């Protein structure tokens, strides 16, 4: 039996040049490694290996050599993304919407949103990306989009998907887009006894800006000596607590207490 017959392909398609971005026939390149196969619908070869979520910038479906199938998920603004998902959209409860399984989806897609938000503020591309993640091989449970979901690279930002490493011969899909590209791209929940009416949004925003070093300039508001910098790099969040930037209880709310042993 041809080993390619059972192979489902999720490529990482991105334009590799300005001319490619302007061209309807976009180049394609997988994130992982060989063996190498030609791709009939694109200019450059595909690399066939473990399944990777496809960021495709051409038609909704393309066929790679050997019958492998590419599932589209747009990474370029203005281009159409998968399926007519609105036809399958329904209310799943207060603040929750469901896109029921259809097409290549292996499970439903769930969004933290309500009907008004979906009607007035939704970018069609983001739910389309979530629909594509629901087609990942080995997906466990539904594909979810958290309350901050918006258009991303392959996955919508705010998208959450779990895959089973034991699924099929190749295991669950690996998606760099699902892991994230940003440095310190994390979310923290802070609880307070204050009610919404007690909070002035502008005062809160200014207070957060004063208290939390951030920005795109070289001046971040925190000065570190060489020893302190080494401590932060080696000890993680625990060093930040020692330097007075947090409390011990903060570490209990951080995965692995803010430090991964190598």
- What CA–CA distance (Å, rounded) separates 141 from 24? 35
Smallest Cα–Cα separation from 190: which of 247, 142, 253? Answer: 253
What does pLDDT average to over the chain? 68
pLDDT digits (tens, 9 = 90+) for 111-156: 999 998 888 876 778 999 999 999 998 898 999 999 888 888 788 8
What's the pLDDT score for residue 177?
Answer: 66
Domain parsing of the chain, residue ranges: 85-179, 225-262
Given pLDDT bands bounded at 50, 70 and 90, which one contains residue 89? very high
Tokens of 226: 């060489």
What's the pLDDT score for residue 176?
Answer: 67
What backbone phi and psi angles, to 5 degrees, belong to 91? -80, 130
| Lookup result for tokens 């690279």 | 153
How do beta strands 46-47 and 36-37 pair?
antiparallel
**Could you tell me if 133 and 53 are in contact, meaning their C-beta atoms sit under 8 angstroms apart?**
yes
Smallest Cα–Cα separation from 59: which of 86, 76, 85, 81? Answer: 81
Quick one: 3 exposed, middle or buried, by C-beta within 10 A (0-12, 13-18, 19+)? exposed
Smallest Cα–Cα separation from 37: which of 15, 28, 57? Answer: 28
Q: Which of 50-59, 104-113, 175-184, 192-201 has the lowest mean pLDDT?
A: 50-59
Given pLDDT bands bounded at 50, 70 and 90, which one contains residue 88? very high
pLDDT at residue 63 greater than cutoff 50: no
Helix (H) or strand (E) holding 201: helix 201-211
Greater pLDDT, 239 or 36: 239
Predicted TM-score (pTM) of this structure: 0.47
Q: Which of 29-33, 113-117, 236-240 has the lowest mean pLDDT?
A: 29-33
Q: Which of 63-67, 186-190, 219-223 has the lowest mean pLDDT?
A: 63-67
Rounded to an integer, the average pLDDT of 238-257 is: 88
**Could you tell me if 176 and 182 are in contact, meaning their C-beta atoms sit under 8 angstroms apart?**
no
DSSP structure class, residue 153: S
Residue-level length of the chain? 262
């Amino acid at each position: 039996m041809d080993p390619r017959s059972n192979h489902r392909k999720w490529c990482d398609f991105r334009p590799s040049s300005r001319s490619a971005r302007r061209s309807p026939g976009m180049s394609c390149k997988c994130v992982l490694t060989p063996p190498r196969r030609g791709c009939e619908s694109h200019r450059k070869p595909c690399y066939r290996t473990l399944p990777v979520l496809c960021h495709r910038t051409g038609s909704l479906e393309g066929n790679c050599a050997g019958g492998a199938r590419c599932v589209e998920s747009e990474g370029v603004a203005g281009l159409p993304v998968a399926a007519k998902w609105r036809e399958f959209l329904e209310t799943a409860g207060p603040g929750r919407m469901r896109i029921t399984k259809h097409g290549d989806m292996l499970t439903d897609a769930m969004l933290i949103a309500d009907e008004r938000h979906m009607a007035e503020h939704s970018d069609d591309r983001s739910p389309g990306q979530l629909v594509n993640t629901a087609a990942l091989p080995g997906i466990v449970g539904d594909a979810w989009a958290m309350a901050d979901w918006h258009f991303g690279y392959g996955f919508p930002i705010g998208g959450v998907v779990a895959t089973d490493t034991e699924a099929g011969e190749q295991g669950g899909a690996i998606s760099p887009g699902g892991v994230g590209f940003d440095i310190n791209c994390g979310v923290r929940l802070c609880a307070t006894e204050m009610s919404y009416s007690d909070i002035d949004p502008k005062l809160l925003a200014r207070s957060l800006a004063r208290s939390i070093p951030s920005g795109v300039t070289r001046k971040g508001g925190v000065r570190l000596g060489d020893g302190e910098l080494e401590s932060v790099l080696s000890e993680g969040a625990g060093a930040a607590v020692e330097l007075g930037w947090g409390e011990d209880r903060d570490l209990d709310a951080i995965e692995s207490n803010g430090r991964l042993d190598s």
